[in-house]
Amino acid sequence: MSVAQQVFLRDAMRRLNLTRDVFATRIGVKRRALDTWLLPEGSQEFRAMPEVVNRFVTEIVENEALLQKYAQSAQSGPLRDRIAAEGKHQLISVDQFTRESVEEFCRVADQMQPIARRQKVSRVLEGAVLGNLFFEASTRTRVSFGAAFCRLGGSVCDTTGFTFSSMAKGESIYDTSRVMSGYVDAMVIRHPDEGSVAEFARATNIPVVNGGDGPGEHPSQALLDLYTILNEFSRLGKLLDGAHIALAGDLKYGRTVHSLMKLLSLYRGLKFTLISPVGLEMPEYILQQVGKHGHVIEQTHSLEEGVVGADVVYATRVQKERFAAEELEGINLDFQVNKAIIDRCGKPDVIVMHPLPRDSREGANDLSTDLNHDPRLAIFRQTDNGIPVRMAIFAVLLGVEELVQHSLRDVTWSPPSHIGPDDSVFHGMD
């Protein structure tokens, strides 16, 4: 089956830590043939992989797995137990992951792709209810977590803002969390205070997912960002080990870059270039944590200098909602990633990412719209990846990841082959 074929090949490359070129050579096929086997089923150039290749790759991966088994004897049991937070099946911080567990997580996300791409449906979470509690503005995180739960067969109840929750009447986090636990089977929470989601999590035994806690963390965003980088690198024939990652913008209050830098640091030999306006540098505690892994970390206030040589340029928005008005006055906000800078200073195969939302109003300063038709801009491939990644989070935390594969049925409707007018093939270029 074609989707299983893509999942199988991606998984094999990731397990063997090989680029597409090296993998093609390792299994003795032309790179072009491998590319056609990795294309989505809807693509005209898609080809089915010969059975003999399947058997050969399986053999190589199994041999590798045997070798790794002895090296990683500590890794055992279900993934949700290995990433548990204080013994609970909750996702509060990227610190819960190791490189092995995050790669295993990416394999679960790959298995969700047929559902995310609207080729298959599953009802493994039928009867389960998700509580989405968002006390800060959100489009992507709230809707994609809800859609991910629904696509696994569950249903969603939500509340948005303080005004429409009884927190407006002074109810505590403890009481709110305990009450909600009686109504729903999992909760996703976004709240303006750092550490607040961990407080919700302590008041319940049901799975809690951090949808963003003030300037603290945004772990599901970091997981989908990592998943996007791995997929983009696979297409470009690059490995994440040894890559050069530039993070630009408000690194002080941007929770996405806090989580992403820590998660990426699980890989080997990275170079981070941290580009920020004066006063919005990456917090010291993150530099120290990442520094322990031996990565190179450079800091600059010049966007033009910082993007030179980077494999990924990850732009972010100034988190104006976290500043007192007078604090913003001294900050240089003229800090926009745009086509001119990427053409002049970026590598030809750089990937430009952004967690979104970007401010698209006149005079805005994070990511220009003039890269919209440029294949180096990965922002919508990034948002699309939010669905399989968030489905994987629920599947893992609720312990149903092994059941999904056996629960798949064909969709009954006809989705468009390209979801965005600029998509070259469905879900990007892979």
Q: Which amino acid is at 222?
A: A
Considering the rule CB under 6 A, would residue 138 count as an interface residue with ligand CP?
yes
Rounded Cα distance between 417 and 399, Å, is 32
Please say which residue, 2 or 132, places its beta carbon nearer to ligand CP: 132
Q: Tell me: does residue 356 bind ligand CP (CB under 6 A).
A: yes
98 binds, among ligand CP, ligand ASP, none (CB under 5 to 8 A by kind): none
Q: Taking CB under 6 A as the criterion, which residues in 286-325 touch ligand CP?
A: none
Q: Name which of 191 and 218 has its Cβ closer to ligand ASP.
A: 218
In angstroms, what is the minimal distance from the CB of 175 to ligand ASP? 25
Q: Closest separation between CB of residue 376 and ligand CP, Å? A: 20
Smaller CB separation from ligand CP, 315 or 356:
356
139 lies in the binding site for ligand CP (CB under 6 A): yes
The option from ligand ASP, ligand CP, none interacting with 191 (CB < 5 to 8 A, set by class) reads none
- Determine if 256 is a binding residue for ligand ASP (CB under 6 A): yes
User: Of 5, 221, 368, 385, which lies in the binding site for ligand CP, with binding defined by CB under 6 A?
Assistant: 221
255 binds, among ligand CP, ligand ASP, none (CB under 5 to 8 A by kind): ligand ASP
What residue 139 binds from ligand ASP, ligand CP, none (CB within 5 to 8 A, per partner kind)?
ligand CP
Look at residue 262 and give the partner it binds from ligand ASP, ligand CP, none, a contact being a CB closer than 5 to 8 Å depending on partner kind.
Answer: none
Tell me the window of 11-19, 237-245, 278-286, 314-322 that interacts with ligand ASP (CB under 6 A).
314-322
Residue 317 is a binding residue for ligand ASP (CB under 6 A): yes
Beta bridge partners of 132: 158, 188
Nearer to ligand ASP, 212 or 346 (CB): 212
Interface region with ligand CP, contact rule CB under 6 A, candidates 105-113, 157-165, 278-286, 352-360: 352-360
Token pair for 4:
């299983």
Task: Check residue 219 for interaction with ligand CP (CB under 6 A).
Answer: no
Distance CA 179, CA 133 (A): 12
Q: Is 262 a binder of ligand ASP (CB under 6 A)? A: no
According to CB under 6 A, which one of 40, 114, 355, 428 is a site residue for ligand CP? Answer: 355
391 binds ligand CP (CB under 6 A): no
Residue 140 is a binding residue for ligand CP (CB under 6 A): yes
> 3-class secondary structure for the chain?
CHHHHHHHHHHHHHHHCCCHHHHHHHCCCCHHHHHHHHCCCCCCCCCCCCHHHHHHHHHHHHHHHHHHHHHCCCCCCCHHHHCCECCECCECCHHHCCHHHHHHHHHHHHHHHHHHCCCEECCCCCCCEEEEEECCCCCHHHHHHHHHHHHCCCEEEEEECCCCCHHHHCCCHHHHHHHHHCCCCEEEEEECCCCHHHHHHHCCCCCEEEEEECCCCCHHHHHHHHHHHHHHHHHHCCCCCCCEEEEECCCCCCHHHHHHHHHHCCCCCCEEEEECCCCCCCCHHHHHHHHCCCCEEEEECCHHHHCCCCCEEEECCCCHHHCCHHHHHCCCCCCCECHHHHHHHCCCCCEEECCCCCCCCCCCCCECHHHCCCCCECHHHHHHHHHHHHHHHHHHHCCCHHHHHHHCEECCCCCCCCCCCCCCECCECC
Single-letter amino acid, residue 287: L
The only residue of 20, 89, 255, 381 in contact with ligand ASP, by rule CB under 6 A: 255
Query: CB of residue 217 vs ligand CP: minimum separation in angstroms?
Result: 12
Instruction: Select 239 or 264, whichever has its Cβ closest to ligand CP.
Output: 264
Q: Which stretches of the chain bind ligand ASP, using CB under 6 A?
A: 212, 218, 255-256, 316-317, 319, 355, 357
Q: Which stretches of the chain bind ligand CP, using CB under 6 A?
A: 138-142, 221, 355-357
